Amino acid sequence: MIKLTEETTTPSAETNAVAVEAPKKKPANRRKRSNTKPWDIASFKVEPIEGKARFHDFDLPPQLMRGIQDAGFEYCTPIQGASLPHTLNGHDIVGKAQTGTGKTAAFLINIITDLINHPVEDERFVGEARTLILAPTRELAIQIGDDATQLLKHTNLTAHTLVGGMDYGKQLQKMKKYDCDILVGTPGRLLDFANNRDIYLDRVEVLVIDEADRMLDMGFIPQVRRLVNLTPKREDRQSLLFSATFTPEVLRLSETWTDKPVTVEVGAERVATDTVDQQILITTAKEKFTVLNNILLGDDVDSVMVFANRRDICRTLHEKLRKQGFKVGILSGDVPQNRRMRALDSFKSGALTVMVATDVAGRGIHVDGVSHVINYTLPEEPEDYVHRIGRTGRAGKTGISISFACEDDAFLLEPIEKLLDMKLPCTMPEEHLIQPVAVPKPAAKKKPVSAPKVEEPKAEAPKGDAPSKTAP
């Protein structure tokens, strides 16, 4: 039976749909641990460095440490080093961190450690989640699920991802097949499953609300509130809330959903400048595509994300780049989810080298080896600039960010510089970047093949007969 928290003792119409007595839960299947070769943590050597925390410095389970090694992690990022000492000791946290800071691994490592150290001895039921992670976009939820699966590789735990735009039945079949240790999803799809009694949140031990500021911007807070109300009381669960900004609204939500939290902050300037070479090119609106095309032809350009503010601009860019012969995909809200996922998989595999995206669709994308991020249009929100350029320069590697500033959006530079607390270098494009783009010739249309004209034989007049004359 789903438990009601104190906040739902007087249910509103909003919560009535889910806060009802559920039928008896069905026993869940266990996931068997895969047969793996013995592993010794001594094979995972990371030398101590002053000022840097190692995952070895925390008392993490060996099977998780093996997953961390497989993921290529050695030293903690600032958000990981600052949050793990508190979360591993059971404290709630409110974290301020942008995309690309390593916050996903920070809360996953805490979750997996808790799940391993506190196994459930009682009977498990289908759809009964032990942890719940809420994300604002489908892409981000899927990415978190993929990261969780990677870290869980050497455990007997299972992560499930529930997002809209994907087949409900297939998602449900997986839920019925394995225990639900980690449940990741977007608010709308999670509510669908809750309404249908296909998931149960009354035994959630750890709740994560990721990108709370984006949840607010996208109008998801009512849905999030309904889901949170289905979990145990805040003092009976661990709650982790992350946001790129600490607005008054975000802080009010944190007071409602967390219990005596520790506040952890990672500055945007550190994230943005450590490993990313930021360039601002002063162009005209007419020059933008020419400059973009010529940048993409560069020898050092391997994998590129191109950001624009509007869907129509993304569609136009995608079509023009495709006609220029680039292997390009598109991520925007008007593209069906299955096509977006195929495009993202192709981009990750290298089959596509350019990805055009809006901020919402591109949020939370983790792709190894992105060499360049190009801001075709400057973002209207300064925080989105940090999110965008965080797609490159990841995992200690360097990356290049190039932003176009024209007469229409140059005024957006100042708020970005204020957020970063630094002056961004502005230059004119080099001569070779403004050379006219060769327009591909349209394929010649083949003329329809017609049957050869056959002349019919002329009828001969009978000999001796002259053609008759008609009167004028």
Give the domain-ending residue among 236, 266, 296. 266
Write out pLDDT tens, residues 67-117.
999 998 999 999 999 999 999 999 999 999 877 778 999 999 999 999 999
CA-to-CA separations, 6 to 101, 187, 199, 411, 463, in angstroms, rounded: 35, 21, 21, 48, 116
**250/274 same-domain check:** no
Residue 75 covered by a domain: yes
200 and 310 within one domain: no
Element (H, E) at 439: none
Identify the sign of the CA torsion 360, 362, 366, 371: negative
Cα 436 from Cα 456, distance rounded (Å): 56
Whether residue 277 sits in one domain with residue 239 = no
Which residues of the chain fall below pLDDT 70? Answer: 1-37, 267-274, 361-365, 394-397, 439-472
Task: Output the pLDDT for position 468.
Answer: 41
Using CA atoms of 391, 396, 398, 401 in order, give the dihedral in degrees to the nearest 10: 30
Q: What is the DSSP secondary structure assignment for residue 441, as one 8-state letter?
A: P
Closest to 237 in 3D by CA, of 214, 196, 199, 209 = 209
- Position 51 scores a pLDDT of 86
Domain membership flag for residue 450: no
Is the domain of 137 the same as that of 187? yes
What pLDDT score was predicted for residue 16? 40
Q: Considering the domain boundaries, does residue 293 fall inside one?
A: yes
Same domain assignment for residues 362 and 284 = yes
Is 51 contained in some domain?
A: yes
Do 244 and 293 lie in one domain? The reply is no
Instruction: List C-alpha distances in Å: 17 to 12, 193, 231, 458.
Output: 9, 12, 15, 87
Query: How many beta carbons lie within 10 A of that of residue 284, not counting itself?
Result: 13
Written as one string, the DSSP assignment of 422-438 is SPPPEEPPPGGGGSPPP
- Give the Cβ contact number of residue 272 at 10 Å: 26
Same domain, 256 and 334: no
Could you tell me the CATH number of the domain that includes residue 341?
3.40.50.300
Question: Do 185 and 302 lie in a common domain?
Answer: no
**Number of other CB atoms surrounding residue 276 within 10 Å:** 22
Tell me the one-letter amino acid at 387: H
3-class DSSP assignment, residue 277: strand
Domain boundary (210, 232, 266) is at 266
Whether 27 is covered by a domain: the verdict is yes
Domain limits at 184? 6-266
| Number of separate domains in the chain | 2
| 415 and 374 within one domain | yes
155 within domain boundaries: yes
pLDDT given at position 307: 95
Please check whether residues 233 and 130 belong to one and the same domain: yes
Look at residue 471 in the predicted model and tell me its pLDDT: 40
d(CA 239, CA 412): 35
Tally Cβ neighbours within 10 Å of residue 282.
15
Distance CA 367, CA 448 (A): 47
User: d(Cα 109, Cα 86) in Å, to the nearest integer?
Assistant: 12
Alpha-carbon 471 to chain mean position:
89
Residue 429 in contact with residue 293, Cβ under 8 Å?
no
pTM: 0.70
Residue 235 placed within a domain: yes
Residue 252's Cβ-count burial label (10 Å; 0-12, 13-18, 19+) is exposed
Q: Are residues 233 and 321 in the same domain?
A: no
Q: Which of 247, 266, 285 is the last residue of a domain?
A: 266
Whether residue 261 is found in the same domain as residue 281: no
Is 1 inside a domain boundary?
no
